[in-house]
Amino acid sequence: MIEWRSDIPIYLHRAPVDFRKSINGLSVIVAESMTLPINQPSLFVFCNKNRRQLKVLYWDQTGFALWQKRLEQDKFKWPRQGRSDTITFNHEQWCWLLRGFDVSKINSHSPIYYRDVV
């Protein structure tokens, strides 16, 4: 599997996508439907209707690249509920999704920020 830097933003397009689309078609979805800049270092993740395949579109500063993963016996736990068509994931959530976890059901500890140490 490709390892992307952990500081790269990851955007999931919640609605299923026709997987006959390639780089050009997915780029149009990013620019028009997701309203995100396409030529930034980001991962744009798409899922097909039966949730057995993912496509990841990304810009690597020399051109667009497209990565695809197909599950043979299971389905991705794709987030379906929410207010917007686009979900932002961090690197940890992205790894969980690829490993088959339902990210919407995982709760972590809330971060604590101190101004002073006692």
Using pLDDT thresholds of 50, 70 and 90, give the confidence band for residue 108.
low
Residue 40 or 2, more confident: 40
Conformation bin of residue 98: beta by default, left when phi > 0, alpha when psi is -120 to 50: alpha
Rg (CA), the chain: 16
| Digit-coded pLDDT (tens) for 5-56 | 888 999 999 999 999 999 999 999 999 999 999 888 899 999 999 999 999 9
Residue 86 or 112, more confident: 86
Q: What global pTM score does this model have?
A: 0.82
